[in-house]
Amino acid sequence: MRVWLPPLVLAALLCGLSAGMPALEPFFQWVQPDKQRVIYERDSFLFLLQNHLLLVVISAAVGTIAAVAGGVFATRPSGRDFLPLVSQVASIGQTFPPVAVLALAVPVLGFGEAPILVALILYGLLPILRNTLAGLESINPAVREAGLGMGMSPFQVLLRVELPLAGRVILAGIRTSVTINIATAAIGSTIGARTLGDPVIAGLVNGNTAYVLQGAILIGLLALTIDSLFEALERTWDHRFSPHGAA
């Protein structure tokens, strides 16, 4: 239970700060004394937090399914010839700047959440795919053979043996991907998506440092919260599936 305490505390702090940001007006007035309005009010911070997190969760779910499926396919005997192609496709998504993806996607998908979702999915594929390949390739072939020898089908070996053993490494890839995309999602505000980047963009446009700080603090705290959550998940996975933890 103690392993879940840090993410719970950080999540409570994040929600409390999002709801209580107006109470910090004296501090932000000190930061930006030349502005009459120092608390971003166009949308509530809780709404922006919810939308920001939803974009990250949806993109992470789609990216994880695609990357893990690609990694599994590329490590099967029938798919090994496609391993270089799978890696190259994911690498293109990582090296292509999200801003460029937005520039190409907006004319097709319009303004709003859809273009930034496409950018986040493409940008988050590589860490998950790389770790999926590393995790599955690191499994001793004798373990797979033992599973087959016990009467399991190849699909059962994948679900009951390979993915649990590789899960810790895959989780680390998802953790990296999600943490990167929490920051990247903020640029969605430039094309009409409602995210925690809204106060940052508004602050930069209007020269209001207080707005920039409010958005940046919440984005940073969200990243810390999610990272702490994944750390707890990884420790729990280790405890359940690793030989040392099981002992």
pLDDT in tens, 48-91: 999 999 999 999 999 999 999 989 998 888 877 887 887 777 67
CA 16 to chain centre: 22
Please state which of the ranges 97-101, 179-183, 184-188 shows the lowest mean pLDDT: 97-101
pLDDT, tens digit (0-9, with 9 covering 90-100), for 8-45: 999 999 999 999 999 999 999 998 888 888 999 888 99
**What's the distance, Cα to Cα, between the start and end of the chain in Å?**
18
* Residue pair 160/147 in contact by the 8 Å Cβ criterion: yes
Architecture of the domain made up of 2-246: Orthogonal Bundle (1.10)
Please state which of the ranges 44-48, 106-110, 180-184, 201-205 shows the lowest mean pLDDT: 106-110
* Residue pair 120/59 in contact by the 8 Å Cβ criterion: yes
Model confidence, pTM = 0.88
CA 226 to chain centre: 8
Question: Is the pLDDT reported for residue 245 higher than 50?
Answer: no
DSSP secondary structure, 183-226, as one string: HHGGGGGGGT--STHHHHHHHHHHT-HHHHHHHHHHHHHHHHHH
102 Cβ partners below 8 Å, 6+ apart?
A: 115, 116, 119, 187, 188, 190, 191
Distance separating alpha carbons of residues 130 and 28, to the nearest angstrom:
43
Would you state the structure tokens that stand for residue 204, as one six-digit string? 């930069």
